[in-house]
Structure 1
Amino acid sequence: MARNTFWVFLGQGARLVIQGAYFVVIARVLGVNNYGSFVGAVALVAILSPFATLGFGNLLVKNVSRDRAAFAESWGNTLLMTAVSGSILLALVMALARFVLPASIPAQLVFAVAISDLFAARLTDAAGQAFQSVEQVRWMANIIVFLSVVRFIAALVVAFVWKHPTALQWGYFYCGSSLIPAAASIILVSRRLGMPRINLAKIFGEMTEGFYFSTGLSAQTIYNDLDKAMLARYSTLDATGLYAAAYRIIDVSYTPVRSLLYAASPGFFRAGQSGIEGSVAYMKRLLPKGLIYSVLILVGLQLIAPFVPRILGQEYARSEEALRWLAVLPLIRTVHSFYSDALTGAGYQGVRMVLQVFVAVFNIVINLWVIPAYSWRGAVYSSLASDALLAIIVFAASTIICRMEPKRSMASMESS
C-alpha cells in the first residue's frame, strides 16, 4: 500500500506541478472570458463523460483485483463499451449544448472537448485502471504524467503562436493533446498486460453494475462541475472563469488524498468480499491519514489565497475570496470519499449511486436558486452544502448497513 500510494502520489504530484503550470499559462493567455467559455463546455461534457465507459473501467479494477485471469476480457469489453457509448454520448452532448450553454460558446468548441473527454480521456483513464487492477501503479503514474506533459506542451504552443488565442483555438489543441496519450496508453497496456478479448455475454451480464458505477460518477460530476456550466448560462463568463480558477486550485490540493484512494481501490474490493464490516475496517485504517492532510491543506489554502491574483492576473482578484470559502472542501470530500469507497468495495455500489444521485438533484435545485441570485458566491454555497450533505448520508448509510448485514447473514443461516 505504501509503495503503491507513493507511485500514485509521485505521478499525481508530477501532474500537479505540470498542470499547475499549464493552468497558469492557459488562464493568462485566454483571459477570464475565454477561459469561462472553455470551462463551460468542459463542464457540460463532464456530466456525461462517466457514461462513456458505462462503468466498465471500474468493473475492470474489481474483476481483475479478485481474479487476474479476467484481464483480457475485462480490458476488451472496456474498450468496446467506450467506443459504442462514447459515440452515442457525442450526439447527445451536441444536442444539449444548444439549450444548456450560451450562444457565445461555439459548437466546434463543444465538439472538440467532447472528442477529448468522451473518447480520448476515458481511454487513457481505462489504461490507468488496467495497471491499477494488477497493482502496477508505477505505469499508471507514467500515463498520468505523459498526459500532463503533452497537454502542457500544447498550452505552450498555443501561447507562442497566438498572443490572444480564442477558446476554440485552445479547444483544438486540447483535443489533440488528449488523443496522443490515449493511443499510446492503449498500446502500452496491450503489450505489457495482454491483448484485449471481447466477451459479449459478459458485457450484458455486467451492464447493470456498470450502470451503477457510471451513474454514480455522473452524479459526482454534476455536484462537482454543473455549477460551472450553470454559471456560464445564468451569470457571466467572468464569474465562471474566476470561480473555476479557485475550484481548480482545490482540485489540485486534493491530489495526495486522491492518490491514496487510487492505491487503495483494489484493497477495498478484496476487503469487501467478506462484507461491509471488512471494507469499513480497511477504510478506518486509512481515513485518519486523509483527514490530517485535509486539515493541513485547509490552513495552507487560507495562507496562499492572497497570492492567487499575482499568479493568474488581477482579473482573477475575486478568486481569492472564492478560494477561502472552498478551502474546507477537501476535508468534507475526504470523509465522503472514503466511506463511499467502503460501500463500493462491499458490493453496495447501487446504494452509493442512489445517494450520489440524490445529492446531484439537490445540487441542481439549489443552483437554480442561488446562482441567479448570488452568481459565483451562490456556486460556492451550493458546493459546500452538497458535499456536506453527501458526507452525512454516506456515513449514515454505511453505519446502518453495518448493523443490518450481520442480521441478514444470521437470518439466512437459520433459514437454511
Structure 2
Amino acid sequence: MTVADTEADRPGGPAAPAHRRRSDGFLRRSGTFLVGTLLRTLAQGVLFVLLAREMPIEAYGLFVGVTALVAVVSPFASAGAPSLIFQSYADAPAEWRRHLARGLVLTATFGAGAAILVTAAGVTIWGGQVRLVDVAALAVADLLAWRLVEVVAASVQARGRVFAASLIPALLHVCRLVAAVVLALAATGPLALHAWAVTAVVVSGAVCLPVLWYGARGPGRLPVDVRGSFAQARTGMLFAVGLSAQSVYNDLDKVMLSRLGSPEGAAVYAAAYRVVDFAYTPARSMAAVAYPRFFEAGRAGPRAALRLTRSLLPKYLAFSVPAALLLVALAPTMPLVFGAEYAAATPALQGLSALLVLKSLHYLAADTLSGSRLQGRRTVCQIAVGVVNAGLNVWLIPAYGWQGAVVSSLVCDALLVALLWGLLAAVVRRDRPAAAVAPHPASTRERD
C-alpha cells in the first residue's frame, strides 16, 4: 500500500470507508497507467495515419492484411507469458526473477516459431503481392521483439511499478513513429512497404535490448530454467488460445477483407477500427491495472472475483457509453484525417462505435474468469466466437465488403458478451462462499 493509500488512516486524518479508498487508489493507478498507454496509443495512431497517407492505398491495404495476420498469431508468440507472470506473482511474489526468466524463455522460443509460421502463411495467402522478406520483417518485429518487451512490462507491473510498466511499451511505438517520420521525409515518392518493414524490425530490435536489461536489472542473474519454463507452457497456452481467439474476431476480418474483398476495403475498415481502438484507451488502462487484481481476488473463488467486477462495471460504462456516442458524432471528420479516399470510413466508424460498450462488458467478464483460474472456460467461449466470426466473414465479406465485416464484428462481440456473462453467472451459482484469502504483504511489492 502506498503512502497516499494510508493518508486517511493517520491519527487525526479524515477516515474514509475502505471501499472508497480502494476505488480512489484504483482510479489513481489507472490514471497513472493511462499516461503511458495514451502515449503508446497516440504513437500507434499517428503512425497508422502517416502510413495510410504516405503509402498507396493498395499497398496499405496489403500492409493491414499482413499486420492483422501477425496479430491473430501474436498471443502464441509469448505462450501466455504475461498472464502467467501475473498469476505466478500473485502466488509467489518473492520469486519475480524466476517468473520473468520463464516468460522470456517461452517468448523467445514460441516467438521465433510464430514468426516462421506467419512468414510461410503470408507468402501462401498473398503470393507475389507481398515479398517474403517484408512479411518476415514485420513478423519478427511484432512476434519476437515486441512480445519480449511486453513480457518485461508485465513483470514490472506485477511488482507494482505501474508508471514504468505503461511507459515501456510506449517507448517502442514512439521510436517506430520517429523512424517512420524520418523515412517519409527522406522518401522521394510514395512510401514503399519494403522500406517500412525493414525499418520496423531494425528499430524494434534496437529498443528491445535495453528494455530487457532494465527488466532484469538488480542483484544476481535471472535463473534461466528451460524445463520449468516449458512446464508452464500448457497453462500458458490456455491464455494464448483465448487471446488468439480474441484476436481472430478482432483482426481476421482485416486479413479476409484484403483477400476476399479488396485492399481498399481493408484500408477503410482498418481506419475506422483503429479510431475505435484509440477511443478505447482509457478503458484499456483500467483493464490493465485491474487484471493482476483479478488473480489476487480469484484466489478466494469466483464470488470474490465477481465482487471486484461489480465495483468496476460502473466505471467502464461511465466511459464507454459517452465515448461511443462521441464517435458517432465525430465520424464525418474521417476523410479530413485520413484523406479523401477514406470517405467510406465515416459510416464504418459509426457502425463500429458500439464496440466500445461491448468490449467493456466482455473484457470484464473474461478477466473475472481468468482471475478465478477458469481460463479454460473463457478460452472455449472465445474459440466458439472466433469460429462464428470466421464463418460470418466468409459469407458476408465477398457479398458486402467492409459493411459485412462491420456486421460480423458487432454480432460476434455481442455474442461473446452473452456467452461470458452467462458462463460467469453459472459458475458463481455453483461456487460456495469461501473465506477471503489474505493478500500478500505490501512489503513484497516494489513501488514507483
TM-score, normalised relative to structure 1: 0.95
Give the counterpart letter for 1:229 in structure 2: V
Length, aligned pairs only: 409
* Cα deviation, residue 21, structure 1: 2.3
Q: Residue 212 in 1 paired to residue 226 in 2?
A: no
Counterpart of 1:159?
184
Q: Residue 27 in 1 paired to residue 52 in 2?
A: yes
407 and 58 in structure 1: CA distance in 2 versus 1, 3 angstrom threshold = closer
Give the alignment partner of residue 117 of structure 1, picking from 137, 142, 161: 142
* Cα deviation, residue 201, structure 1: 4.0
Q: Residue 2 in 1 paired to residue 27 in 2?
A: yes
User: Following the alignment from structure 2 to structure 1, what is the Cα–Cα distance between the partners of residues 186 and 354?
Assistant: 39
Counterpart of 2:277?
251
User: Following the alignment from structure 1 to structure 2, what is the Cα–Cα distance between the partners of residues 113 and 336?
Assistant: 30
Mean Cα displacement is larger for which, 38-47 or 272-281? 38-47
Give the counterpart letter for 1:250 in structure 2: V
* Cα deviation, residue 153, structure 1: 0.3
* Cα deviation, residue 90, structure 1: 2.1
Q: Residue 190 in 1 paired to residue 216 in 2?
A: yes
Does the CA-based 8 Å contact 2:115-2:144 persist in structure 1? no
Bigger proportion of residues as helix:
1
Does the CA-based 8 Å contact 1:298-1:328 persist in structure 2? yes
User: Following the alignment from structure 2 to structure 1, what is the Cα–Cα distance between the partners of residues 50 and 387?
Assistant: 35
Counterpart of 2:351?
325
User: Following the alignment from structure 1 to structure 2, what is the Cα–Cα distance between the partners of residues 378 and 351?
Assistant: 29
Q: Residue 233 in 1 paired to residue 262 in 2?
A: no
SS for the counterpart of 2:276 is: helix
Alignment gaps of 5+ in structure 1 = 410-416
User: Following the alignment from structure 2 to structure 1, what is the Cα–Cα distance between the partners of residues 221 and 313?
Assistant: 37
Counterpart of 1:383?
409
TM-score, normalised relative to structure 2: 0.88
**How far does the alpha carbon of each residue in 1:157-176 deviate from its partner, in whole angstroms, 9 at most, with x for none?**
12111131112211112222
Q: Residue 67 in 1 paired to residue 88 in 2?
A: no
Q: CA RMSD in A?
A: 1.7
Give the counterpart letter for 2:432 in structure 1: P
Counterpart of 2:304?
278
Q: Residue 353 in 1 paired to residue 375 in 2?
A: no
Q: Residue 307 in 1 paired to residue 325 in 2?
A: no
Give the counterpart letter for 1:226 in structure 2: L
User: Following the alignment from structure 2 to structure 1, what is the Cα–Cα distance between the partners of residues 219 and 324?
Assistant: 40
Counterparts of residues 330-345 of structure 1 (less than 5 Å): 330-345=356-371
User: Following the alignment from structure 1 to structure 2, what is the Cα–Cα distance between the partners of residues 231 and 93?
Assistant: 18
Give the alignment partner of residue 161 of structure 2, picking from 136, 140, 144: 136
Give the counterpart letter for 2:194 in structure 1: L
* Cα deviation, residue 84, structure 1: 1.3
User: Following the alignment from structure 2 to structure 1, what is the Cα–Cα distance between the partners of residues 243 and 361?
Assistant: 17
**How far does the alpha carbon of each residue in 1:276-323 deviate from its partner, in whole angstroms, 9 at most, with x for none?**
001111111011111111111111101111111011110011011100
User: Following the alignment from structure 2 to structure 1, what is the Cα–Cα distance between the partners of residues 280 and 197?
Assistant: 26
Does the CA-based 8 Å contact 1:294-1:330 persist in structure 2? yes
* Cα deviation, residue 137, structure 1: 1.1
Counterparts of residues 360-399 of structure 1 (less than 5 Å): 360-399=386-425
* Cα deviation, residue 145, structure 1: 2.5
* Cα deviation, residue 380, structure 1: 0.6
Counterpart of 1:413?
none
User: Following the alignment from structure 2 to structure 1, what is the Cα–Cα distance between the partners of residues 54 and 217?
Assistant: 39
SS for the counterpart of 1:63 is: helix
Q: Residue 86 in 1 paired to residue 111 in 2?
A: yes
User: Following the alignment from structure 2 to structure 1, what is the Cα–Cα distance between the partners of residues 73 and 422?
Assistant: 28
Give the alignment partner of residue 50 of structure 1, picking from 75, 93, 96: 75
User: Following the alignment from structure 2 to structure 1, what is the Cα–Cα distance between the partners of residues 426 and 228?
Assistant: 32
123 and 204 in structure 1: CA distance in 2 versus 1, 3 angstrom threshold = closer
User: Following the alignment from structure 2 to structure 1, what is the Cα–Cα distance between the partners of residues 276 and 213?
Assistant: 33
* Cα deviation, residue 102, structure 1: 5.2
154 and 34 in structure 1: CA distance in 2 versus 1, 3 angstrom threshold = same
User: Following the alignment from structure 2 to structure 1, what is the Cα–Cα distance between the partners of residues 126 and 162?
Assistant: 38
**How far does the alpha carbon of each residue in 1:18-50 deviate from its partner, in whole angstroms, 9 at most, with x for none?**
333222211111132221111111111111111
373 and 79 in structure 1: CA distance in 2 versus 1, 3 angstrom threshold = same
SS for the counterpart of 2:130 is: coil
Counterparts of residues 161-176 of structure 1 (less than 5 Å): 161-162=186-187, 163-176=189-202
SS for the counterpart of 1:406 is: coil
